[in-house]
Amino acid sequence: MIETRVLKGSALDTALDDVALLRINVFRAFPYLYDGDLEYERTYLNAYRESDRAVLVGAFDGNRLVGAATGTPLSDHSDDFSAAFGDSDIRLSDVFY
């Protein structure tokens, strides 16, 4: 049976490397814009530790992470993400990515 859990605080700390490895494997299996590594993913996922508005949900088969979903306000993301909206009328505070 698959169980979903919101990962925050120590639960996120415990699952961080598993989430990072899952993202690397998924993005390698499908054409994507980058070929991540563990250090990049750890840095990227730190945003989910630092923002109280971000969410990371893990899907677990027992204790094994088998899926994940992430979301955070775009305004909390790096400038790389928000730069794409620079010339638009879309307010970053209205976008949950």
The answer to the question of residue 85 being in a domain is no
Count of domains for the chain:
1
The answer to the question of residue 76 being in a domain is no
What is the domain extent for residue 58? 2-70
pLDDT of res. 81: 72
The answer to the question of residue 89 being in a domain is no
**Residue 12, Cβ neighbours under 10 Å: how many?**
18
pLDDT of res. 33: 66
The answer to the question of residue 40 being in a domain is yes
For residue range 24-48, list pLDDT tens digits in order: 988 887 776 667 789 989 888 887 8
pTM value is 0.78
For residue range 49-91, list pLDDT tens digits in order: 888 888 999 999 999 999 999 998 887 776 777 777 878 888 8
The answer to the question of residue 8 being in a domain is yes
The answer to the question of residue 82 being in a domain is no
